[in-house]
Amino acid sequence: MTEPVHVAVIYTDAGGGHRASAFALKACLEGSGRYRVSLINPYISLIPHLDLFSRFGSRTGENIYNEVILRQGRTGLTCWLFYAALRLNYVFCEPPAISILSRHFEDIRPDIVLSVMPLGNRVMLEALKRYRAGITEGPLPEGAVMITDWAELAKGVWFPNRADYHAICGTQDALRNAEKLPKLAGKIHAMGGLLIRPEFTDPAQRSSREALNLDPSRPVVTVLYGAQGSMRMIELATAMRDIPHTAQVVFLCGRNEALADQLRAMDLPFPVQVLGFTDRVAQYLSASDLFIGKPGPGSTSEAMALGVSMLLDKSLALPQEAAVLRHVTKTGAGLAFSTSSDFSESFKAAMSAIERGQARQPVAANTSPADILEIMDRIAASRVPAACSLQPAGELPHARHVSRA
């Protein structure tokens, strides 16, 4: 019996999107029976001592991002300064990080190393290069980067200009970014949408409103601001309280327990469900008529795959989420708001459309769960035996460019 291909997925818990993508990969790949997936957050398991934020302060880099940038909504200058500091952290700690990661690859012996996080991919690829150099028999491992943003924020944030890895893109914007790098020619792969978990594309895995304790006769509005939640949801709940409507509202607060407690304590005139972190996002979103939240590339892709209309909060958009807003507003998949007044007007318009039966959007077919399997099969097949590898690492035969409309 053939052994499953071992894929090491490198991710971070800074925000929920990278973690969600890592677990979506695990679900898709292991569900096929052809792959075994190891999830690695190097910030926690391998290099926490190289985090200069925690070395010189009281919080880790991941904590600062989650608690200050996301929960407190400091998505402007503070966010840019954090990104600059994070980039410097990589520069100063790159040599020991490469050594530690390469030794870990020697221990777990992956066939493919795939990153779903930005900024650190040069470190990952250098570590993989060092690990490959010590292999004398069997197929050499391959490297890959799957961008989880809609587009690359700046050159090199996701895709280093080098030839020793595969670039996996879920949007046309990201595909264009990768195609600007000449060394990646022939190793760029396109999916039909950003990777989302299979339950968002499989109608058989959805639940009825009754099964979710929702009234089937009322419209459903789901409010979600990522895995960390946002106190902005209190402001939106207050605005909805002052607008006559017939909807029932589900507030998904993620890991923000203080937010959930405050929402539960509010005296709201409409039916409400307040939940903390849940693995039933697909069920609630598929039962919804309207999604309200930040323009995260993952949650936006999920709503589009389900045909759910969107109201996206551009006031809390991260720098890398501007591309999401442009796409949603340009295609008419949703509206964007910034102030409470903007939200109230947009919410009234959305509820009016729902009551007229005009709120549903065309489903944006997302084929990423099937596409990623095809792409990983090709990457696995492109591995060459160590004894036969005379060319520099990364210049492998049989790599194919996958393009989709």
Whole-number pLDDT of residue 106: 96
Q: Given pLDDT bands bounded at 50, 70 and 90, which one contains residue 360?
A: low
Whole-number pLDDT of residue 359: 63
| Residue 391 clears pLDDT 80, i.e. is over it | no
The fold for domain 5-196+367-388 equals Rossmann fold (3.40.50)
| Residue 405 clears pLDDT 50, i.e. is over it | no
| Residue 364 clears pLDDT 80, i.e. is over it | no
Please give the structure tokens belonging to residue 63.
Answer: 């904590």
Q: Given pLDDT bands bounded at 50, 70 and 90, which one contains residue 393?
A: very low
| Spatial CA neighbour of 184 closest among 166, 158, 171, 168 | 166
- The superfamily (CATH) of domain 202-355 is Glycogen Phosphorylase B; (3.40.50.2000)
| Residue 397 clears pLDDT 70, i.e. is over it | no
Between 251-260, 321-330, 344-353, 380-389, the lowest mean confidence (pLDDT) is in 380-389
Average pLDDT over residues 37-58: 93
Residues with Cβ within 8 Å of 124's Cβ and at least 6 positions away in sequence, in order, are 10, 101, 113, 115, 143
Whole-number pLDDT of residue 350: 92
For residue 56, how many other CB atoms are within 10 A of its CB? 7
Report the alpha-carbon distance of residue 309 to residue 286 in Å, rounded. Answer: 11
What is the tens place of the pLDDT at every residue in 286-308? 999 999 999 999 999 999 999 99
For residue 393, how many other CB atoms are within 10 A of its CB? 20
Between 13-22, 92-101, 152-161, the lowest mean confidence (pLDDT) is in 13-22
- pLDDT, averaged across the chain: 91
- The pTM of this model reads 0.90
What is the tens place of the pLDDT at every residue in 324-344? 999 999 998 899 999 999 999
| Residue 404 clears pLDDT 60, i.e. is over it | no
Q: What is the DSSP letter of 3?
A: P
Average pLDDT over residues 195-206: 86
Whole-number pLDDT of residue 394: 44
| Residue 372 clears pLDDT 60, i.e. is over it | yes
| Residue 50 clears pLDDT 90, i.e. is over it | yes
Nearest-10 crossing angle of helices 17-31, 297-306: 50
Q: Where are the domains of the chain?
A: 5-196+367-388, 202-355
What is the tens place of the pLDDT at every residue in 240-257? 999 999 999 999 999 899
355-359 CB contacts, 8 Å cutoff, 24+ apart:
355/219, 355/246, 359/219, 359/289, 359/290, 359/309
Whole-number pLDDT of residue 395: 43
- Helix, strand, coil % (nearest 5) of the chain? 45, 15, 40
Whole-number pLDDT of residue 226: 87
For the four alpha carbons of 269, 270, 275 and 276, in that order, the dihedral sign comes to negative
| Spatial CA neighbour of 263 closest among 288, 230, 228, 226 | 230
Report the alpha-carbon distance of residue 243 to residue 50 in Å, rounded. Answer: 50
Q: Confirm whether 5-196+367-388 and 202-355 share one CATH topology.
A: yes
| Residue 67 clears pLDDT 50, i.e. is over it | yes
For residue 306, how many other CB atoms are within 10 A of its CB? 23
